[in-house]
Structure formats: structure tokens, C-alpha cells
């Protein structure tokens, strides 16, 4: 059995419920990195704990045609930091996600953040992790697999070649293999989206989520109806509420309601939760004045410094000129379309995709001369993306935001409902989620 096959086998053995925790980490880090660039640029660039990668150097065959900026966010399902070192026992306990021997190198979150040079609305595109695509950037291999697996395949191929060539199994070899994994994932995403130029990337592991959540807690979120899940620990009342770091983990991990089996969750619903969480964090930090409070921002960044890799060309001072749209909430989040669910030739559950449809959607979202796409396709049926409503109490679909604890679980430690701010409600994962307010989601 080869190295990557071992990684895949180990990855399959872990509980599925643990795999989603990372998604929010990557997205929050990206939001913080971009949104607060103008106040923390010198702090970040002087921090030796943040690793710089040369994975983009000379690796892109796609020409840059505009002055806009595209940042790829990659979140890895790894239980070690970016240097391969184990986390503390306290973090493993808080994450409830095994130890350093658990997990792998799947890019379980992939998000392209597009920042127009003219300061207009930014767009974040979530790429479903199980989309079945052609992998690129792996020399000598012609593979189809889940898009999240490009990183692991690239890493394994490079590590195998290096060890076969007599290289020592040390940190230098490990980091060289990680660079190959990054190149493969970046190339695969660029190809899948329609030869999109990637200007920068941010990579995070699972390690920093709990610390990031602690640094920004309490966090205001909103759900359309009361829900509980004994697997993830979710226990939320209907409406707007404030949650702590551990509850934040449950918010983005929940995939079922153990009190109501008919109220199901999918990976796409959880991606919507992730998007809502990012919007809430940005909104909250702006309202609290955190973006202009360097000590607060330094605390947030310190929490993730050893769990973060950025490309060597990422200049936060230059990016600062483009960050205004994000800090003001002028950003929308869209999940790219899939056509359905299927099974791969090896028996894996996958998302089926129409590559032409995906690329047309991306082209529309990236075009500064046109409005962003209003909706994404839903497997099995066509549904208008008008499932979002704005206001304090107005809604469509599965529920409306409420400041009361109506329909709250009768026991447990459910978060207390908070005073209802202006909200926007989304009944499912389709359509574009808009920034600038607290969003109510499934």
C-alpha cells in the first residue's frame, strides 16, 4: 500500500462529524487577514512564526489579465501545526478531534476570495470539497478525484520521489512535499474554475480554530429554528444568540438534529453555516472597533501564527488599499453549483459537477461589469435563489430570526437569545449570502 493510500485509509476511518471543524478556521483566518490588513500589516509581516511559501513562484501558467486580486483559502484536515508539530493536549480535548495521528492532508475547505481593484463588492466563492474533478499539477499522473484530494496526492507523490532519491525524512523534505501539495491544489482549483489566475493563497490547519474562536468570542449567530445534536454538541435556540468558542465549533460541525431526524444537514448546508459565521465575525469585529484596535488584532493573529502559511508575495500593505469593501461588509458569499450526488469508480461519495456551468458561474461572479450570479443549482431540482429575506423578523422558508427563546431545548446549555439586530434570513444553501449584518441560516 502506497503512502497516499495509507493517508486515505486513515482519513476514512475517522468520524465524519469531526471533519467540518476546520472549515471555519480557514475562512475566519482569511477574513481577518484581508479585512484588517490596513492596521496589522507590519505586525504580521514581522512575525517570524508565520510561514511563507513559494508555491506560487513560477507555477502559474495563467496570465493575470486584471488588477483585481484573487486569494485562494485552503483549509487542511490536519491535527498538527504547519511545521508538523503536535498541538497541546488542551486543544485536542477542546476540538474533540483525535490527536496528531488522526487526519490527513485533504483541503476540506476551498474558497476563492475576489477583491475588485475599484473597491466594489468583494465575492467569496465556496468550492464544495467533494466535487469530482480532474487533478492538475501532479507530474506524471492523470487522475480524477475529489477536489480536496489534490493537496494530498501532490504531497505524497513528491515525498515518495524525494525519499526514493535518498533525501532524509526530515523537516526540509517534509516542507518540500508540502509545497508540492500546495502547487497541486492551486493548479487544480485554477483549472476547475476556468483558468482563473490565483494571486495569493492562505493555508491553515485545524490547529488554530479554538484559539481564534476564543479570541473573538462571544460571536453572534442566528438559526432559523431551535436545534440539537448530541454528536457535535449543538444546542441552539431559535433566532439570534451569542455563542462561545466551543459552541462555535458545534455551530459549524452540526450535520443532523438528533431531536428531529427530518431536519437534516448536508455539507452544503454546513458551508452556508461557515459563510454565515464569517459574516457575523466581520460584522461583530467592525461594530466593536476591533479593526482599529491593534492590541486586539494582535491577539487574534497570535492565536493562528503557527497554524498559517501565506505565499511569499502576499504584501498586506498593498492589499490594504483593497480591503475597505470587506471591512464594511461589502462582500457576498456564493457556493458554486453541483448537479447532484454520486459515487466514484472507487466507491467514494462525490458531488457531480457540470464543469461548463461552474466556469460560467465563476466568470459571471468575477466580471466587474456584471452583477454577481444570483443563484447556484440545487441537486435534483431547480429553485429560485429568492430564499433570503432582509429585515428584523421578515423571512421566507424555514424560519425567521427572533430574539426570544421560543422552541428552545428544554434542557442543556443552549446559548441565550440576544437582542435581535438587523438580520437576513436564508432557508437553504442556494443564492448569494450578503455581508453587512447577522445572517439567519438553517
- Rounded to whole angstroms, the Cα distance separating 284 from 280 reads 6
- Rounded to whole angstroms, the Cα distance separating 115 from 323 reads 8
Closest CA to 139 of 123, 127, 155: 155
User: pLDDT by residue for the chain (442 residues), tens digit each?
Assistant: 554 444 444 444 444 434 434 444 444 555 554 444 434 444 444 445 678 899 998 656 677 777 888 999 998 877 677 777 777 777 777 766 666 665 678 998 899 999 888 878 889 999 999 999 999 999 889 999 999 999 999 999 999 999 999 999 999 999 999 999 999 999 999 999 999 999 999 888 766 667 777 778 888 999 998 999 888 788 999 999 999 888 888 888 787 888 888 887 777 888 888 888 888 887 777 776 666 666 666 666 666 666 778 898 886 555 545 555 566 667 899 999 999 999 999 999 999 999 999 999 999 999 855 444 445 444 444 333 334 444 433 333 333 333 333 333 333 456 655 554 566 788 888 888 887 778 899 8
Q: How far is Cα of residue 83 from the mean position of the Cα atoms in its chain? A: 21
Side-chain half-sphere of 143: how many Cα atoms within 13 Å? 22
Report yes or no: 75 and 107 within 8 Å, Cβ to Cβ. yes
- Rounded to whole angstroms, the Cα distance separating 237 from 222 reads 9
Tell me what pLDDT residue 136 has. Answer: 95
DSSP count for the chain of H helices, then E strands: 13, 19
Tell me what pLDDT residue 155 has. Answer: 94
Tell me what pLDDT residue 7 has. Answer: 43
Dump the DSSP string for 169-237. Answer: SSHHHHHHHHHHHHHHHHHHHHHHTTS----EEEEE-GGGHHHHHHHH-SEEEEESS-EEETTTTEEE-
Report yes or no: 259 and 409 within 8 Å, Cβ to Cβ. yes
Tell me what pLDDT residue 185 has. Answer: 97
Domains by residue range for the chain, with CATH: 3-441 (3.40.630.190)
Q: Which helix (H) or strand (E) holds 390?
A: strand 388-391
Report yes or no: 387 and 351 within 8 Å, Cβ to Cβ. no
CA distance to 26, 33, 93, 210, 252, per residue, from 300 (Å): 13, 10, 21, 11, 19
- Rounded to whole angstroms, the Cα distance separating 277 from 389 reads 17
Report yes or no: 133 and 344 within 8 Å, Cβ to Cβ. no
Amino acid at each position: 500500500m502506497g503512502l497516499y493510500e495509507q493517508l486515505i485509509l486513515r482519513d476514512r476511518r475517522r468520524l465524519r462529524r469531526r471533519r467540518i471543524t476546520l472549515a471555519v478556521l480557514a475562512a475566519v483566518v482569511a477574513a481577518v487577514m484581508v479585512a484588517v490588513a490596513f492596521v496589522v500589516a507590519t505586525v504580521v509581516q514581522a512575525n517570524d512564526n508565520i510561514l511563507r511559501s513559494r508555491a506560487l513562484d513560477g507555477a502559474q501558467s495563467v496570465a493575470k489579465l486584471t488588477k483585481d486580486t484573487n486569494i485562494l483559502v485552503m483549509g487542511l484536515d490536519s491535527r498538527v501545526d504547519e511545521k508538523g508539530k503536535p498541538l497541546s493536549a488542551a486543544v485536542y480535548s477542546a476540538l474533540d478531534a483525535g490527536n496528531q495521528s488522526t487526519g490527513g492532508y485533504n483541503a476540506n475547505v476551498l474558497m476563492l476570495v475576489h477583491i475588485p481593484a475599484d473597491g466594489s463588492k468583494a465575492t467569496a466563492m465556496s468550492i464544495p470539497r467533494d466535487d469530482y474533478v480532474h487533478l492538475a499539477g501532479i507530474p506524471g499522473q492523470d487522475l480524477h478525484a475529489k477536489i480536496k484530494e489534490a493537496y494530498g496526492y501532490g504531497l505524497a507523490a513528491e515525498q515518495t520521489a524525494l525519499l526514493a532519491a535518498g533525501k532524509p525524512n526530515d523537516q526540509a523534505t517534509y516542507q518540500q512535499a508540502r509545497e508540492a501539495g500546495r502547487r497541486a491544489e492551486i493548479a487544480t482549483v485554477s483549472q476547475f474554475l476556468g483558468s482563473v489566475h490565483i494571486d495569493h493563497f492562505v493555508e491553515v490547519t485545524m490547529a488554530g480554530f479554538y484559539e481564534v474562536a476564543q479570541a473573538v468570542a462571544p460571536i453572534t449567530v442566528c438559526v432559523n429554528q431551535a436545534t440539537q445534536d448530541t454528536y457535535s454538541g449543538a444546542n441552539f435556540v431559535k433566532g439570534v444568540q451569542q455563542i462561545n468558542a466551543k459552541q462555535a465549533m458545534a455551530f459549524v460541525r452540526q450535520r443532523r438534529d438528533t431531536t428531529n431526524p427530518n431536519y437534516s444537514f448536508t455539507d452544503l448546508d454546513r458551508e452556508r453555516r461557515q459563510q454565515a459565521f464569517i459574516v457575523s465575525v466581520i460584522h461583530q469585529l467592525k461594530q466593536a472597533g476591533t479593526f482599529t484596535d491593534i492590541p486586539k488584532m494582535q491577539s487574534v493573529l497570535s492565536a493562528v501564527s503557527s497554524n498559517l502559511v501565506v505565499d511569499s508575495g502576499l504584501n498586506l500593505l498593498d492589499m490594504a488599499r483593497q480591503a475597505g469593501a470587506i471591512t464594511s461588509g461589502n462582500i457576498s458569499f456564493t457556493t458554486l453549483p453541483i448537479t447532484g450526488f454520486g459515487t466514484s469508480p472507487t466507491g467514494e461519495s462525490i458531488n457531480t459537477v457540470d464543469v461548463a456551468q461552474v466556469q460560467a458561474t465563476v466568470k459571471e461572479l468575477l466580471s466587474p461589469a456584471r452583477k454577481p450570479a444570483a443563484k447556484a443549482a440545487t441537486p435534483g431540482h431547480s429553485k429560485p435563489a429568492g430564499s433570503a429575506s432582509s429585515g428584523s423578523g421578515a423571512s421566507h422558508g424555514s424560519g425567521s430570526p427572533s430574539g426570544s427563546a421560543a422552541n428552545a431545548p428544554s434542557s442543556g446549555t443552549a446559548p441565550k437569545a440576544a437582542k435581535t439586530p438587523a438580520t437576513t434570513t436564508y432557508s437553504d444553501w442556494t443564492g448569494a449570502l450578503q455581508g453587512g449584518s447577522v445572517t439567519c441560516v438553517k
